[in-house]
Amino acid sequence: MTVSGAAKLAGIVGWPVAHSLSPRLHGHWLKELGIDGTYIPMPVHCEDFASVLKSLQAVGFAGLNVTVPHKEAAFALAHEVDDAAEAAGAANLLIFRDGRILARNTDAPGLAASLQESLGPDCVKDRVAVVLGAGGAARAVVLALSNLGAGEIRIVNRDRHRAETLAGTMKPFTRSKLATAGWPTAAADASLLVNATSAGMHGNPPLDISLEALPSHAAVCDIVYNPLETDLLKVARIRGHRTVDGLGMLMHQAVPSFAAFFGQTPKVTPALRAVLEAALRG
Ligand code: NDP
């Protein structure tokens, strides 16, 4: 679709950014909704991030998505942050408004929406959920599970000290009981397992855990989406667990960004998933 001289402008800033699915995702919605707007990928080095933000504000961008390695810098440069960004100490959405920068983190609501869509509205309410990982994404996962009403969230990480730090950092932002644990002890009576490590991602070794101890009724979610079916999800599926892939989170986390940039709330549909799955297949 062609754009006019008055087109709304937005995009994603990262380094690298060529692998990002966000331009296809937003591009699909722009076309579907017939919006006069454009969403472009922008590779930006860390040392240029602040000046690029200023320039994009000056030329009238509505805002930006921010990916690795700029999420913490985006948070630090903002004039105003939402609770999710505060909890994560990082932002993936910047909205430019009246010369100010508003920072949001949409990963937690994105995961919550994906889990509810796949597993039902009360999928972890008052139940035990296990989070694997203690990096940036794990913060969003803990927040999402807490917001879904999880009774207890057990954090398992290769480096146990990092798990403890994460539990301490997230305590003020969560209503659930937070604990750290080892695997497979953490699996006992769990209703949901979420992988928030980068293990299993294309180019990385798979997670080295057995699902033997996981109750058969437990669902398994992997927020890694490339490959779409990670080894963890494959083993879980074969064992009969319900599974949720990382594409759901990716699609849902983009909804508030699109609404902020282009003024319409888009829908996560099978057609959008098909576009992204085709892109992942290459
Ligand atoms: P970080 O680098 O911040 O954290 C990586 C985590 O993975 C650490 O806890 C690390 O453990 C753990 N880890 C890495 N390799 C292994 C391994 N072989 N075995 C066990 N644990 C391992 O990454 P992020 O938190 O930013 O991202 C994690 C993943 O989440 C990425 O794959 C990213 O693509 C995905 N993601 C998906 C999103 C979506 O929308 N679906 C959104 C955001 C992220 P340790 O501390 O011991 O080193």
Task: Report the residue among 19, 141, 156, 158 best suited for mutation to probe ligand 1: largest number of ligand atoms under 8 A from its CB.
Answer: 158
Q: Does the predicted model carry a pTM greater than 0.95?
A: yes
Dist. CA 200 → ligand 1 center (Å) = 9
Please tell me the distance from the alpha carbon of residue 247 to that of residue 243, in angstroms, as a whole number: 12
Q: Indicate which atom in ligand 1 lies nearest the CA of residue 207.
A: 19
Decide if 234 is catalytic.
Answer: no
Using CB distances shorter than 6 Å, the residues near ligand 1 are 107, 133-138, 157-159, 162, 196-199, 201, 205, 207, 223-225, 246, 249-250, 253
At residue 229 the predicted structure's pLDDT band, cuts being 50, 70 and 90, is very high
Place of tokens 């990928």: 41
Residue nearest to atom 17 of ligand 1 (CA): 199
CB–CB of 242/219 below 8 Å?
yes
Dist. CA 138 → ligand 1 center (Å) = 8
The DSSP bridge pattern shows strands 152-156 and 80-81 to be unpaired
At residue 227 the predicted structure's pLDDT band, cuts being 50, 70 and 90, is very high
Cβ contacts of 51 within 8 Å, gap of 6 or more = none
Average pLDDT, the chain: 97
CB–CB of 231/90 below 8 Å?
no
Catalytic residue, candidates 31, 71, 234, 267:
71
Give the angle 88-93-95 at the CA atoms, nearest 5°.
130
Dist. CA 60 → ligand 1 center (Å) = 34
Dist. CA 36 → ligand 1 center (Å) = 36
Q: Is the pLDDT of residue 282 over 90?
A: no
- For the chain, where are the E strands, in sequence order? 8-14, 37-43, 63-66, 80-81, 93-97, 100-104, 128-132, 152-156, 177-180, 192-195, 219-222, 243-244
Cβ contacts of 143 within 8 Å, gap of 6 or more = 84, 87, 88, 108, 170, 173, 174
Q: Indicate which atom in ligand 1 lies nearest the CA of residue 208.
A: 19
Residue range 244-261: average pLDDT? Answer: 98
Q: Is the pLDDT of residue 1 over 80?
A: no
pLDDT tens for 52-86 read 999 999 999 999 999 999 999 999 999 999 999 99
Dist. CA 201 → ligand 1 center (Å) = 9
pLDDT tens for 157-167 read 999 999 999 99
Q: Indicate which atom in ligand 1 lies nearest the CA of residue 246.
A: 41
Task: Report the residue among 197, 228, 230, 280 best suited for mutation to probe ligand 1: largest number of ligand atoms under 8 A from its CB.
Answer: 197
Q: Indicate which atom in ligand 1 lies nearest the CA of residue 250.
A: 40
Dist. CA 176 → ligand 1 center (Å) = 22
Residue nearest to atom 27 of ligand 1 (CA): 137
Q: Which residues of 159-173 are buried (b: 16+ CB within 10 A; e: fewer)?
A: eeebbbebbebbeeb
Q: Is the pLDDT of residue 2 over 90?
A: no
Residue range 89-100: average pLDDT? Answer: 96
Cβ contacts of 54 within 8 Å, gap of 6 or more = none
Q: Is the pLDDT of residue 277 over 80?
A: yes
Please tell me the distance from the alpha carbon of residue 111 to that of residue 117, in angstroms, as a whole number: 10
100 burial (CB, 10 Å; 0-12 / 13-18 / 19+) is exposed
CA end-to-end distance (rounded Å), the chain: 22
Q: Is the pLDDT of residue 143 over 80?
A: yes
pLDDT tens for 173-224 read 999 999 999 999 999 999 999 999 999 999 999 999 999 999 999 999 999 9
Amino acid (one-letter) located at 152: E
pLDDT tens for 20-35 read 999 999 999 999 999 9
Distance of alpha carbon 87 from its chain centroid, rounded? 14
Q: Is the pLDDT of residue 249 over 80?
A: yes
pLDDT at res. 222: 98
